[in-house]
Chains A and B, each alone.
Chain A
Amino acid sequence: MTMQFKIYKEPELKDPYMVTGLPGVGYVAKLSADYLIKELKAELFEEFYSSSFPPYVLIKKDGTVELLKNELYYWKDDKLKNDLIIFTGNTQAISPEGQYEISNEVLNRAEKFKVKKLFATAAYVTGRHVEKPKVYGVATEQELVEELKKYEVLPMDAGSISGTNGLLFGLAKLRKIQSICLLSETPGYMTPSGRVLTDVKSAQALLEVLSKMLDIKIDMKPLEKEAKMAEEFVQKMEELERRWAEEMRRSVTPPPKDIYI
């Protein structure tokens, strides 16, 4: 496996926190990270390229080409005790080896910048549609578990957090980096063609908790608007799928036996 790094800046950061969120189910983690970057106007300082990413490139609307990559952003605010590093990207490594390699590179940066706390974000797949997604949390230390209770985050005793989003959290523990993983409920909704839908509502629920924990204020209005639109879309999709399932059922129903022609 080969990795390449493009460093744009070497920021000086004060006791930073790190938030991680790569694309996964419902794009919950990525949406959360992206929204933070957009609202805080965080600055890109490093990009990772890896041969463990899917083997293709993206042609953007303006005709320019974009590579698959993972990115590190930073944000500083003099009024706050802790600066912020955000890790995201337009893909995630596919193989477990690649996921370990990338996660270790991210955590090398976390150690270099003396990250005080890592907040990994992820999706909690329920398989059903929920009105108000709940946010679950796990932490590497009991003290942090207690902290989660203050924010009404539900505890999670058993389960697994797959992919780089989950691995980062586990590897952080090995490196003795205080770490919390927030998981927001999402149906893991798929269209009949197998496309996973973006769950804005789930990301919103996650961001409401995360922003309080980071002690930052972000304007949730644009996201609320988007969540409402996505909600209407999901309802329409559900209706369509219900009808489609009904059609399927009808098409395989045998004719009643008491009819003779």
Chain B
Amino acid sequence: MTWIKYIEEPIVKEPIAIVGSPGLRSIGKIAVDYLIEELKPKLVAELYSPYFPILYQTVPSYVSHPDYPGQAGTLLKEGQVELPKVEFYLLPFPKLLITKGYHANFKGQYEVAHQVLDFYQEFGVKKMITIAGYGREGKEVCCAATDLELIKELKEYDIGTGYEGPFYGFSGLVFGLGMLRDIKGICLFGKTQPNLEDPEYPDPKAAKAVLERLSILLNFTIDLSKLEKRVLM
């Protein structure tokens, strides 16, 4: 029932997928939105699903519950009519497939994640970097990966492990299920202070810290000054 609307023929093969979604303190979402804003990649496809609510009955939205499927509907953004969706943007240099995620309800999470991974495989994606947040004591940015080799590599960039526990929502499943398709993945978690009243309340400072590490890892330059301003606001 979940479907993909193709917008542009892919010309870049084997890009690295970058994944972010509205999770803890919206770190993944802010980071991905900023990459799209700054690097100006091309929108190549959109994924729609009947499992995408516009109104969630669970707080936070990424922790779903079988009894609370939410409400479907249409969104209005700056006068434009939109359905909730996942967006895929392609950048030729560095070769990135930036994925702006969206949380399905409990019933649809696996289906959506598998469809995203089907799409990645069409593009020949072999590596993926997921951006999310973590709310524990520790370093500014910590990591997780699909194998120990990658953990070792990340240590060379002074990024160590530091989070242990469940990884919920769109990004967690895409990252984890990628393993079954031999897509190597790393996840960069930005440290944040959980906000119990509004778990997705934006933390641009944590997103900036993750983007700094990402640009070093992938060896590209990005002007983070606009994000810096948002931190100060």
Partner of A59, one of B66, B109, B111, B167: B167
B176 & A63 in contact (Cβ 8 Å cutoff): no
Contacts of A95 in B (CB 8 A): 66
Given A64-B145, A65-B146, verify A57-B151 contact (CB < 8 Å). Answer: no
**With A and B bound together, what is the CA distance between A62 and B150 in angstroms?**
11
Partner of B66, one of A58, A62, A65, A94: A94
How many pairs of residues, A versus B, come closer than 8 Å at their CB atoms?
Answer: 77
B110 & A51 in contact (Cβ 8 Å cutoff): yes
Q: How far is the CB of B114 from chain A (nearest CB, A)?
A: 7
B179 within 8 A of A: yes
Partner of A62, one of B161, B172, B176, B187: B161
A63 & B180 in contact (Cβ 8 Å cutoff): no
**With A and B bound together, what is the CA distance between A105 and B71 in angstroms?**
34
B64 & A55 in contact (Cβ 8 Å cutoff): yes
**With A and B bound together, what is the CA distance between A11 and B166 in angstroms?**
33
Encode contact with A along B99-132: 1 for CB under 8 Å, 0 otherwise.
Answer: 0000000100111001000000000000000000
How many residues on chain B are close to A (CB under 8 Å)?
A: 33
How many residues on chain A are close to B (CB under 8 Å)?
A: 21
A67 & B144 in contact (Cβ 8 Å cutoff): no
A58 & B165 in contact (Cβ 8 Å cutoff): yes
A60 within 8 A of B: yes
Contacts of B66 in A (CB 8 A): 94-95
Q: How far is the CB of A30 from chain B (nearest CB, A)?
A: 17
B164 within 8 A of A: yes
Given A63-B161, A67-B176, verify A57-B166 contact (CB < 8 Å). Answer: yes
Q: Which residue of chain B has the shortest Cβ distance to A49 in the bound complex? A: B180
A59 & B146 in contact (Cβ 8 Å cutoff): no
B161 & A67 in contact (Cβ 8 Å cutoff): no
Given A56-B166, A65-B146, verify A6-B180 contact (CB < 8 Å). Answer: yes
A253 within 8 A of B: no
**Which residues 42-69 of B sit at the A interface, judged by CB distance below 8 A?**
64, 66
**Which residues 33-76 of A sit at the B interface, judged by CB distance below 8 A?**
49, 51, 53, 55-67
Q: How far is the CB of B44 from chain A (nearest CB, A)?
A: 25
Partner of B111, one of A51, A62, A94: A51
Given A2-B114, A55-B106, verify A61-B164 contact (CB < 8 Å). Answer: yes
**With A and B bound together, what is the CA distance between A237 and B109 in angstroms?**
37
Given A58-B167, A59-B167, verify A67-B145 contact (CB < 8 Å). Answer: no
Centre residue among A53, A65, A67 by max chain B CB count within 10 A: A65
**With A and B bound together, what is the CA distance between A62 and B147 in angstroms?**
10
With A55-B169, A57-B175, A65-B175 known, 7 other A-B pairs at CB within 8 A are A49-B180, A51-B110, A61-B164, A62-B148, A63-B142, A64-B144, A66-B176
Please give the residue numbers on chain B whose beta carbons come within 8 Å of chain A beta carbons, in ascending order: 64, 66, 106, 109-111, 114, 142-148, 151, 160-161, 163-169, 172-173, 175-177, 179-180, 185, 187
Please give the residue numbers on chain A whose beta carbons come within 8 Å of chain B beta carbons, in ascending order: 2, 4, 6, 49, 51, 53, 55-67, 94-95
14 A-B residue pairs with Cβ-Cβ distance under 8 Å, sorted by A, are: A55-B168, A56-B167, A57-B177, A59-B144, A59-B164, A59-B166, A61-B164, A63-B142, A63-B144, A63-B145, A63-B160, A64-B144, A65-B176, A66-B176
Top-7 shortest CB links A-B: A57-B176, A63-B161, A51-B110, A55-B109, A56-B168, A59-B144, A56-B166
